[in-house]
Amino acid sequence: MPMSAEEITGMITAAMPDAEVTMRDLAGDNDHWAAHVVSPAFVGKSRVAQHKMVYDALGGKMGGVLHALQLTTATPD
């Protein structure tokens, strides 16, 4: 069963409470998502480290229950 936007957002914000997460359903099937995550926790970290933080927050669901996630990360302005 695919993960909902609420589940994905909840997992990310549970690990990074200060994160702002914007989800977009790419295919209309609740299985292919784009997530834009903004967090002060990303300050001073490389893009790869930022993405790893998000993947870690997803607890191994990426590539399994969570089939596809287009991820962008940013620090607050």
Q: What CA–CA distance (Å, rounded) separates 40 from 30?
A: 28
Domain boundaries, the chain: 5-74
Mean pLDDT of the chain: 93
What is the reported pLDDT for 34?
96
What lies within 8 Å, CB to CB, of 72 at 6+ separation is 34, 35, 36, 37
Tell me the pLDDT band of 61, cut-offs 50, 70 and 90.
Answer: confident
Query: pLDDT of 12-35, one tens digit each?
Result: 999 999 999 999 999 888 888 999
Where does 5-74 sit in CATH, by number? 3.30.300.90
Helices (H), the chain: 5-15, 47-57
pTM, two decimals, is 0.91
